[in-house]
Amino acid sequence: MSRGFLECWLAVRRLHARSMTTDIKATMLPTTSQQNVLTLAAVCLASLMFGLEISSVPVILPTLETVLHSDFKDLQWIMNAYTLACTTVLMATGTLADRYGRKRLLLASLALFGLSSLVCGWAGSTGVLIVARALQGAAGGAMLICQVAVLSQQFPSGAARGRAFGAWGIVFGLGLGFGPIIGAAIVALSGWQWVFLVHGPLAVVALLLAGLGVTESRDPQRRKLDVAGIATLSLAVFSLAWCITQGPALGVTDPRTVASLAVALAGFAAFAVIERRQSEPMIDFSVFRIRRFSGALLGSAGMNCSFWPLMIYLPLYVQHGLGYSSLGTGLTLLAYTLPTLLMPPLAERLALRYRADAVIPAGLLAIGAGFLLMLWGSHADAASWLTILPGCLLAGTGLGLTNTPVTNTTTAAVPGERAGMASSIDISARMVSLSVNIALMGFILVEAIQSALRQHVPAGIDAAALRAMAEGLSAGKGAGALPAGVAKLALAQGFGAVMLYGGVAACLFAVASWLVFGAGRARQTAGQPMR
């Protein structure tokens, strides 16, 4: 009997201990509301890092070309490696997150972003920096998609969802808008390395917040990963960027130039064929028949063929062409990016009142007009930051008017079950356009400077030497070897050509967007559904 009593007493003690342990664990675990706060903090911190890495790095490019002895093509690839890698993973991340878990992929992307940022900061050569930037871009692209997926899962509906996405958008905008001045301030106070190294501890904090707050989720349907589509599109974009960047120096008839162009064209063609045959395509081409979707997508491409690529080259012009310090360059770029943060609320009100199909083309026209105004300011007799300031403000205002209506229109124009795909197409169009136009603007810059030098340098210099001189001048080198005033004249002509291209391209996209939207309006007027 005593033995039975003892066993009973021990069983009660074990149950009591287990209950105490459960209670302690329960008190230590965050509540649902606390989890949501931690999740929002983690996602906002990740979006801040992503935004900063886009807009703060261009400011330090003039420093990098001096410290790492980089040439002009190296500077292009330091930026393009990030955007190309980001483009590659964007298309796969959604499917991978659905299959393996959104929290798991977010944590992995945060860890990789932090580690690759440390490698960028410790890079002792241009080659290492370019590779690290590619890893950073891959992590950043995955991180961006996971942010949206996690927020959508954790805040499914209601006012809380609106507040969460609003806070995320504001923080993302702060990173983009204040990135130039933050990057310049870091260089002035410490060194260029900390523009990258700062993301190491920030990533650790974001990892801790996400680990505590984010609830794991998966898609029970788990779509099949479109490996063939991802591979062909990535290869096509990379080959085209390589052809534009490296081809002019090699020569148009060089077998490597011809081969890269052929691979790019074949890649785009193969991608289109593969997607049409897929049962679950990454891009369903039927959505392009929806006029509102296609009109808004032209807005995405228009922004990223003009505004953001110039962000890469504007610091080089301000620092080498106008002679300002890193801090002065950052302040000038702040005028370029700050309106993009301030204008979205007005853009949404205008879109509600006048429709997005009027606001998006108008915003693109404002970007184009801003570029042409910058062109005029760069050719003024006493060109300075003041002469290009009105154009910077107008271009930034145009982007602010266009950005959010484009995103909202692309997702709202398609059925709800295709909103995720529409968002992926929008982001992919932006990144592909950005990657190609970084290379294209660099090509225009070098060709225009080379044309100016051909008119003012002594005769007898062969084409290869002249091109090397133009590339060096584009990166801020070799001005001392030129006659007085020639370097400044050539830089003004080169960057003027870039601004002209950006202005004309934005205006052409505005017209194309207006015409596509207009075709939809005509259908609606005729009593047919607007598609």
Residue 100 placed within a domain: yes
Of the ranges 128-137, 331-340, 422-431, which one carries the lowest mean pLDDT score? 422-431
Residue 412 placed within a domain: yes
206 and 295 assigned to the same domain? no
DSSP 290: S
Indicate if the alpha-carbon torsion angle 348, 354, 356, 362 is positive or negative. Answer: negative
Query: Which pLDDT score is estimated for 10?
Result: 47
Give the model confidence (pLDDT) of 516-530 as tens digits: 988 555 555 544 555
173 and 104 assigned to the same domain? yes
270 and 412 assigned to the same domain? no
Question: What's the rounded mean pLDDT across residues 195-221?
Answer: 85
- Domain of 168 in residue numbering reads as 33-225
Question: Is the model's pLDDT at 15 over the cut of 50?
Answer: no
452 and 496 assigned to the same domain? yes
Angle value at C-alpha 153, between 151 and 154, nearest 5 degrees? 65
183 and 250 assigned to the same domain? no
355 and 441 assigned to the same domain? yes
What's the number of domains the chain is made of? 3
* Residue 359's CATH number: 1.20.1250.20
Question: What's the rounded mean pLDDT across residues 187-202?
Answer: 88
Question: Is the model's pLDDT at 398 over the cut of 80?
Answer: yes
Question: What's the rounded mean pLDDT across residues 249-266?
Answer: 84
Phi-psi region of 261 (alpha: psi -120 to 50; beta: other; left: phi over 0): alpha
Give the model confidence (pLDDT) of 268-277 as tens digits: 899 888 888 8
Query: Which pLDDT score is estimated for 5?
Result: 45
Please enumerate in sequence order all residues whose Cβ is within 8 A of that of 230, keeping only pairs 6 or more positions apart, or say none: 88, 91, 92, 282
Query: Which pLDDT score is estimated for 28?
Result: 47
288 and 399 assigned to the same domain? yes
Give how far Cα 304 sits from Cα of 2, 61, 157, 321, Å: 83, 20, 31, 24
In this prediction the pTM is 0.80
In degrees and rounded to multiples of 5, residue 396 shows phi and psi of -65, -40
- Pick the closest to residue 304 from 388, 232, 398, 373 (CA basis): 398
Question: What's the rounded mean pLDDT across residues 471-500?
Answer: 78
Helix pair 126-154, 102-122: axis angle to 10 deg: 160
Q: List, as one string, the DSSP characters of 153-181.
A: HHS-SHHHHHHHHHHHHHHHHHHHHHHHH
Give the model confidence (pLDDT) of 294-311 as tens digits: 888 999 899 888 888 888
Reading the block at residue 208, the tokens are 């801790």
For tokens 């295709």, name the residue: 418
Q: Which of 9 and 216 is assigned the larger pLDDT?
A: 216
190 and 319 assigned to the same domain? no
Reading the block at residue 96, the tokens are 């991978």
243 and 333 assigned to the same domain? no
Residue 26 placed within a domain: no
496 and 383 assigned to the same domain? yes
Question: What's the rounded mean pLDDT across residues 57-71?
Answer: 82
- The residue among 277, 311, 337 that closes a domain is 277
198 and 325 assigned to the same domain? no
Question: Is the model's pLDDT at 418 over the cut of 50?
Answer: yes
Task: Say which amino acid occupies 317.
Answer: Y
443 and 529 assigned to the same domain? yes
Give the pLDDT band of residue 24 (cuts 50, 70, 90): very low
Q: Give the whole-angstrom CA distance, residue 256 versus residue 431.
A: 25
